Structure 1
Amino acid sequence: MMLLILFLCIGAVAGRRSPHAEYIEELEQSLVGTPSDVLEDAKLDVPGLLIKYGYPSEIHSVETEDGYILEMHRIPHGRNEGSRPKQNRPVVFLMHGLLSSSADFLVLGPSTALGYILSDAGYDVWLGNARGNFYSRNHRRHNPDSLITQRFWKFSWDEIGNYDLPAMIDYVLEVTGQQKVHYVGHSQGGTTFLVLNSLRPEYNEKFISFQGLAPASFFTYNEHSTFNALAPYENVLESAAFAMGVGEIFGNREFMTWFATNHCIEDSILFPLCTNTLPGITSSEYFNSTLLPLILGHTPAGASIRQVAHYGQCIRFDAFRRYDHDPIRNLINYGQLQPPNYDLSKITVPAYLHYGLKDRQVDYRDLYLLARKLPNTIGVYKVARDSFNHFDFLWASDVKEMFYDRLLEYLKLAETQCF
């Protein structure tokens, strides 16, 4: 693993803004009544948000074994220094879900967003960014904007777990001098943790706890109509996308405009994405609609079509297994014609699994199925509010009271049992 230069964020990324800052500017005239702070935050990138609210902010870069250059954001201590000496601060690593970024854990602002809460509680907070999103759209050799080879985009969350996480975790341990970190992963952020520790079981020794916020793995009980409608076409969709030079999805305004023009029509097989995605995010009774421009400024942050296709395979074949290329490439990569299942018995990290009863993306019954396959599940915990859904883990107005305060207790519990 090649370690790149550490940048202090002040001055290091001058001029960079949020993924969709220009889009928000175009909408401003129609957003009469939206608080100016919301509009400002919608256009700031993650380091800009931290600086604005008086938190220490660092940008770190690391290169993976296969050449992807990833950006991490660090909040080394709280706004008011916190209660623990800096050198003794336990580390928490936060990992975002599909089409998201490190901004997920900050957009709700100080006293409410998880990144701020953890740093103020005395933790050294690191926020990861998976390959291909707005902050990690770089490679030593491959050009993400090439329409010819699309080699940059030929990865799924298998590579994120197998290459990105080891590079980031090893770097964090080296910089902090700690032996172990807490891992908090939302949705795909939980998926990649399972990938890492099943494929590289030696990494189990580097974690205090796994806090899975609706970690996506099994879809046996999935009842999401959009997922079920698109899963049978996973191979066709990916092949067609790459043939058209579209390996990246929802990473820029141009793609979203093209998608809306060509596929938000009733005869498109992708039409359910248009009708269900945004309503799925905003349907929570505890979603503050005033913050919608802020969410749209940072999300979606980009991903590979193969990440989506890989989940489609999990649904289609009812198995949590490695990416299915084709029989020949499977034989080359895995030594067998069919992709192997992830061996969850190798994951020994104490696992705390959290779910919302109204989560349509990750059904709570599938979380219990995962729990039975993990050898060291400490517990499966339902968020108290019955209407809590998948996106409430990030954006609900009551998420601090409903979940984050409780999460802090689980982190402390895991620390007492680990050290």
Structure 2
Amino acid sequence: MATSILPSLLLPIILWMCMSFVECLTTVDKIIEHSQSYDGGLCLNLIQPCGYACVEHTTQTKDGFLLGLQRVSSSTIKLGVQSGPPVLLLHGLFMGGDAWFMDSPNESLGFVLANHGFDVWVGNMRGTKWSHGHSSLSDGDKEFWDWSWEEMALYDLEAMLTYINSKTSSKVFVVGHSQGTIMSFAAFTQPDIVNMVEAAALLSPISYLDHITSKFVLNLVNMHLEEALSLLGIHQLNLKSNILIDIIELGCDGGRLDCSNMLASITGENCCFNSSRVDFYLEYEPHPSSLKNLKHLFQMIRKGTFARYDYGTLKNILKYGQTKPPTFDLSKIPESLPIWMAHGGNDALGDVIDVQHTVKELKSNPKVLFLEEYGHVDFLLSTRAFEDMYDNMITFFRSCKMSSSF
């Protein structure tokens, strides 16, 4: 999709709408930070109340971010001594590690894997409320938010895998959803990272985004919303502030797009999640992310590339030594790495054409499960998830060569 120039008449309109929430953005963020601090962390608030053993851990990235990890096991298995291999769960955009525990123990993947004897580790990316800041920066600093999924892939995932490996002396199974799969694909092109991975299961796998069908997202992309927010000096995107209302207004195109079903407008029709639990989900979601992360994703949609962040011609030359950012070459992912994927026919963000593009570029022959009815959110919250896909995933993991008996 070719990049278009922001129409000169549109920018002042967007700026005016954005200005209406800039002042309250800072105030509301402070309120949210306090009210959602959840003393005791993810273990105490969501996992232990369901009867599962859970311990909080922290690891530090090479660029100083302090990331929260939770280690989870079934109450019938002593934490840290189970025979099953470690598995790391990587959440999607505007989500945190809580995303894997939103439903009952028989439906939520984090609980399901623990029930089947896996040594479950829950990843929380930089900027989310279950991670713990930075060694020297405050989240009020511009520099704190100077990252995209590229840094999550090359620093966050590397730090988490290194930490888990040090605690378990074992290679790690990786499970990602949405943004978690973008991170995984990019990281797996790096030998020092992929060598710590036993196998990967990717839900709504994404490395290319140029065929997404979400009209809501495409409206925001075509409006260059991220440019307006950048001009206003916004670096953090916290969708629990009034910014959400204004973004919805823009994305719904002034009423010309039917957004009565907001979730479907963004993700595609989801067949199987329990809509009666939405209020509970919203107690935890969405999490903050950086504006730069959104910019990077919008670049992928416009350019049809799976590449590092594009700073523009001059800065690209200074940073990369070339006019365009280097691509992440999927053919560099080792053929020996076992990969399992599940994608859906109603997924407006992980389009079937883009998934096929990804598979074509891999050297390996991944196992692919296609679920015609599934939308983007179903892969996390479907009430039928175990019989539709999680059982299949566990069978795949068990079939992989593992260093420990399992």
Cα deviations across residues 16-64 of structure 1 (Å, max 9, x unaligned)?
xxx79969xxxxxxxxxxxxxxxxx9x9844321111111111111111
Residue of structure 2 in register with 1:374 after alignment: 362
Q: Does 2:397 correspond to 1:406?
A: no
Aligned residue pair count: 368
The Cα of 1:246 is off from its aligned counterpart by: 2.0
Residues 1:85 and 1:155: Cα distance change in structure 2 (over 3 Å): closer
Residue of structure 1 in register with 2:351 after alignment: 363
Residue of structure 2 in register with 1:130 after alignment: 125
8 Å contact from structure 2 (residues 107, 382) kept in 1: no
Q: Does 2:237 correspond to 1:249?
A: yes
8 Å contact from structure 1 (residues 263, 270) kept in 2: no
Q: Which runs of 5+ in 2 are unaligned?
A: 1-31
The Cα of 1:224 is off from its aligned counterpart by: 2.2
The Cα of 1:266 is off from its aligned counterpart by: 5.8
| Mapping for residues 38-77 of structure 1, pairs under 5 Å | 45-75=42-72, 77=73
Q: Secondary structure at the match of 1:139?
A: coil
Of all paired residues, the percent bearing the same amino acid is 27
Residues 1:249 and 1:325: Cα distance change in structure 2 (over 3 Å): same
Residue of structure 2 in register with 1:332 after alignment: 318
8 Å contact from structure 2 (residues 268, 346) kept in 1: no
Q: Does 2:192 correspond to 1:207?
A: no
8 Å contact from structure 2 (residues 41, 56) kept in 1: no
Residues 1:195 and 1:418: Cα distance change in structure 2 (over 3 Å): farther
Residues 1:276 and 1:228: Cα distance change in structure 2 (over 3 Å): farther
Residue of structure 2 in register with 1:6 after alignment: none
Residues 1:264 and 1:112: Cα distance change in structure 2 (over 3 Å): closer
The Cα of 1:141 is off from its aligned counterpart by: 2.1
Q: Secondary structure at the match of 1:321?
A: coil
| Bigger Cα displacement from structure 2, 162-171 vs 347-356 | 347-356
The Cα of 1:366 is off from its aligned counterpart by: 1.2
The Cα of 1:313 is off from its aligned counterpart by: 0.6
Q: Secondary structure at the match of 1:110?
A: coil
Residue of structure 1 in register with 2:147 after alignment: 155
Q: Name the Cα RMSD after superposition.
A: 2.9
| Mapping for residues 4-403 of structure 1, pairs under 5 Å | 45-75=42-72, 77-81=73-77, 86=81, 88-136=83-131, 138-146=133-141, 150-178=142-170, 180-198=171-189, 200-234=190-224, 237-250=225-238, 253=240, 255=241, 257-260=242-245, 262-265=246-249, 277-280=262-265, 283-348=269-334, 349-383=337-371, 386-403=372-389
8 Å contact from structure 1 (residues 282, 289) kept in 2: no
Name the CA distance, whole Å, in 1 between partners of 2:181 and 2:380: 14
8 Å contact from structure 1 (residues 264, 270) kept in 2: no
Name the CA distance, whole Å, in 2 between partners of 1:62 and 1:270: 44
Name the CA distance, whole Å, in 1 between partners of 2:135 and 2:205: 30
The Cα of 1:145 is off from its aligned counterpart by: 2.2
AA matched with 1:73: Q
8 Å contact from structure 1 (residues 21, 44) kept in 2: no
The Cα of 1:265 is off from its aligned counterpart by: 3.6
Q: Secondary structure at the match of 2:195?
A: helix
Name the CA distance, whole Å, in 1 between partners of 2:41 and 2:155: 29
8 Å contact from structure 1 (residues 356, 388) kept in 2: yes
Cα deviations across residues 144-169 of structure 1 (Å, max 9, x unaligned)?
124xxx11111110010011110111
| Bigger Cα displacement from structure 2, 168-177 vs 132-141 | 132-141
Name the CA distance, whole Å, in 2 between partners of 1:325 and 1:371: 28
| Bigger Cα displacement from structure 2, 325-334 vs 282-291 | 282-291
Residues 1:44 and 1:142: Cα distance change in structure 2 (over 3 Å): closer
Residues 1:133 and 1:44: Cα distance change in structure 2 (over 3 Å): closer
8 Å contact from structure 2 (residues 147, 290) kept in 1: yes
8 Å contact from structure 1 (residues 230, 270) kept in 2: no
8 Å contact from structure 2 (residues 43, 55) kept in 1: no
Residues 1:64 and 1:238: Cα distance change in structure 2 (over 3 Å): same
The Cα of 1:317 is off from its aligned counterpart by: 0.8
8 Å contact from structure 1 (residues 352, 377) kept in 2: no
Name the CA distance, whole Å, in 2 between partners of 1:48 and 1:182: 25
Name the CA distance, whole Å, in 2 between partners of 1:232 and 1:97: 23
8 Å contact from structure 1 (residues 20, 297) kept in 2: no
8 Å contact from structure 1 (residues 226, 273) kept in 2: no
Residues 1:59 and 1:259: Cα distance change in structure 2 (over 3 Å): same
8 Å contact from structure 2 (residues 270, 346) kept in 1: no
Name the CA distance, whole Å, in 2 between partners of 1:244 and 1:312: 18
Name the CA distance, whole Å, in 2 between partners of 1:81 and 1:245: 49
The Cα of 1:219 is off from its aligned counterpart by: 2.3
The Cα of 1:233 is off from its aligned counterpart by: 4.5
AA matched with 1:55: Y
